[in-house]
Each structure stands twice: as structure tokens, then as C-alpha cells.
Structure 1
Amino acid sequence: MTPILLVTRPLPEAERFVRTVMARLARRPQVILSPLMDIVTLGVETPPDVAGLVLTSARGAEAAGRLGLPRGLSAWCVGAQTEAAAEAAGLVALPGGGDADALVSRVLAARPKGPLLHLRGAHARGDVAARLSAGGVETIERVVYDQRARPPSDEALAALRGTAPVIAPVFSPRSAALLAEAGPVRAPLAVAAISPAAAEAAAPLGAARIGVADRPDGSAMAVLTCRLLEETPQAHPSA
């Protein structure tokens, strides 16, 4: 029985992740794309005289261009994908260390001139703007997109309630919690979690195995997902 790779990221990130995983694998799983969130862009007014940006997602970087912020602004970016999106938007990307805690530490250590503007989604963790302001770097935040929940597809539900092994990468605690709401899960399940918090949120799924990525980024998630797929026994239906 061929393992199933169940990817619940929004599009097109889900498709990009699947391409990365497939390029690493000798044995190809069945793939089900079932986004658990729709991304809805929001129109907001940005404050004047912004000295730099803080970006905790690639979508925040994309919003900088949409909102008419000046090209050439320095942008502290949480990870590599956000850096790439910032550069594509004409910003000067500064590495933030891979997660919100590292990002806050690096900005506070650099003591950039403010005010900084944090562009984020409606569902975010880390209290980045508040922590930076409390540390002496004035930071304003704007919610520039919403991540609206959507139910799993019928195909995804059938996989979770079937007999073929399922490998499910989860890229945030919220996506893990949304997937857990799809229970009960009867399929042999392995979860690739981007962080300990995401792993904790996935606990109600009752997975046989939950792995945590070495780093909270897409590359490490691809490595972990491939490892879980490769370690999944190739089951054979009974005659």
C-alpha cells in the first residue's frame, strides 16, 4: 500500500513543498493537497516615515510592495524564504535567525533606528512588535493578511480514516490544531512538525510518530518529511 503524503499548507506553498520533497525521493508517495487555510489579503494604511521592516513570513514581504512601501527599505526576515520574497520585492533582506525569538534577539542587538513596521498575518505567534518596542526598538505592526480556516477535503478525510500510512507535515501550531479537528484518525499516521509547539498541537491526532524539524524552515521540513516517508514500511494488501 503506497504511503500518502498529506499536505495542508495553503497554495501555492503546498505545491512548492511537494516539488521539493519529490526531488529527494526514490519512492514516490500518493500526494493529497488539502489546504486548511485560505489566505485573504487585507488593505491597511501604513504609518509614515517607516525606517525599516520586520517580516515573519514571505506573505508579509509580498505585502510590502502591494502597500506601496519604498523599495530599498531594510527588512529583518525570519527565514530564508522570507528573505527571498523580500529581495524580490526590492527590499534589503537582513537574516533573522530562523524563528521569532532569534529575530527579536538580532534586531535588539543591532539597535536599528525606528520606527520599524512588522507586517504579519492575523494569526501570529511571538508578540514580535511588542517585544521589540519593550526592548527599546520602536515597532508598529499591521495585519496585512488573514489565514481563514477551511475544512479538509473529502479525499483527505478518506485518507485519515483509511488503512494506508499517512505522513502529514504541519507548518504551524494552528494548522496542526485544524488537522486534529478532522479526527478520528484511523490510518497509521506520522507527523512532521516544524516546531515543538506544532508537535504539541498535533498530539490529539494520536500519531504513531511525531518528528520535529531540526530548524523551523521549509528545507528542514522537507528533510524530515522525506525521512518519515522513507522509514514508512511498504505495506501490501492481503490477497
Structure 2
Amino acid sequence: MRLLRLGLLVLLLGPPLLILLFRFVPPPVTPLMLIRLAEGHGLERQWVPYEAIAPALAHAVIAAEDNLFCEQALGFDIAALRGQIEAWREGERPRGASTITMQTAKNLLLWPGRDPVRKLAEAWLTPQIALLWPKRRVLEVYLNIVEFGPGIYGAEAAARAFFGKPAAALSAREAALLASVLPRPLHWSAAAPGPQLRRRAAIIERRVGQIRPLLGCAG
């Protein structure tokens, strides 16, 4: 019983303590990075502060992944989640309602996949991040750990690998291309975009202009 209580205490207090620590300290590595290393990919990353990343990238990522990021209180898009539940009830395949805060929780502390256990853990961690971190910190961590290509993590490593420049110098089109690859970073390349990726980047660029009033938290 003592071991059980200790295990429950670790499960309850461990994640909040880690999340609180990572509010101030850059995470040294993530589970996904270790998994990709075991799969034979490299590990290129360079942590940079949010101010050293072109605002265009944060704007493009919000436009591509989570238009209402700045408006969410607990890190969930409630309307999108309701839509997914309704789709599931009607026998349709849910298309996903993942927010940037949810993706940050997954990328920072969990493993890839769509299994129910991981989804429950993600739902448990997301509001903790939303409550313990300011929006700018969520973006900073996400843009520094997200996978942009095989073995390439974070804005700085991606900007240098694909465009030969620091993340601070990314153009709006380059930022849109990087945001475009996020759904399939092992298959799509921002350095050699095909027609589908170029079309997706153009849509993201247009959407940035359309949602600009919703980008206040991104600077």
C-alpha cells in the first residue's frame, strides 16, 4: 500500500513539478527525440529565446495549427472537441482537435501515437501547462522542441538546415513552409516543397492575414 501511495503521489505531483520547472528551464530532451534517435535519426536542435525567432513563424504555426490559441483558457478548443465527439457518435472518423498547448504537452512529456492512454495523459497535462505557463512560454517551448524534419527539432535548427539562416531571419514564406510540414515532418521538406506543400504554405500565409486580430499573444 505504501508503494501504491508513493506511485500515485509521483503520478499526481511529478508532472506539475516538471511543468513548473520547464516554465523557466529549457527542456534538455524529449521522449520523441529519444525515440527518433533509436530509429536511426540524428538530433539537431539549438534552443533560442522567443525573441530570437521571427514573429512570422509563431503567426504561421497558429494559423496552421490552432487559430484560437490566444483565446483559450485551459488549452482546449472546446467547440472543436464537441465537433469531434459528435462525429464519433455519428460513426465518422474524428479529424482531430489538437491545440498548440496539447501538442506542447505531447511533444514535451509523452510519446507519439493515438492510443487512448496517451490521449488521456495529454488531456491531463494540457490544462496544467495552460495554467502554469504564459502563452508566450507555450509558444517558446513548442517552437524549440517541435519536429520539423528527420532529426531536426526547433525553429533554429530548422531555419539553418532548410534555409541556411537563423530563425530570427525567417521570411513569411519560409515560416509558412515550416508550419506546413508539421503534420508530416518525416515525409515533407520545407527545403524542397512539392506542389501540395507550396499550396498549403500559400493558404497559411493568407490565413495569417485573416486571423491577425487573434494573434495578440504571439507578439
Give the structure with higher Rg (CA): 1
Q: Same fold (TM over 0.5)?
A: no
Give the TM bin, normalised by the shorter chain: under 0.3
Structure with the larger strand share: 1
Scaled by the length of structure 1, what TM-score is found? Answer: 0.23
